[in-house]
Amino acid sequence: MSKKKEPGFEEALEELEEITRALESGELSLDDSIKSYEKGMELKKMCLDILKKAEKKLEYLEKNNEGELEKKSLFSDEADSSEELF
Bridge partners (DSSP) of residue 70 are: 62
What span, in angstroms and rounded, lies between the C-alpha atoms of 25 and 36? Answer: 13
Domain positions in the chain: 9-85
- The CA-based diameter of the chain, rounded to the nearest angstrom, is 65
Confidence of residue 31 (pLDDT cuts 50, 70, 90): very high
pLDDT at residue 8 in the model: 92
What span, in angstroms and rounded, lies between the C-alpha atoms of 56 and 80? Answer: 11
CB 86, CB 44: distance < 8 Å: yes
The proportion of the chain whose per-residue pLDDT surpasses 70, expressed as a percent, equals 81
Q: Full-prediction pTM beyond 0.85?
A: no
What is the average pLDDT across 16-26?
Answer: 96
CB 23, CB 33: distance < 8 Å: yes
- Give 48-61 pLDDT, tens digit per residue: 999 988 888 887 87
Q: 27: number of CA atoms within 13 Å, CB side?
A: 5
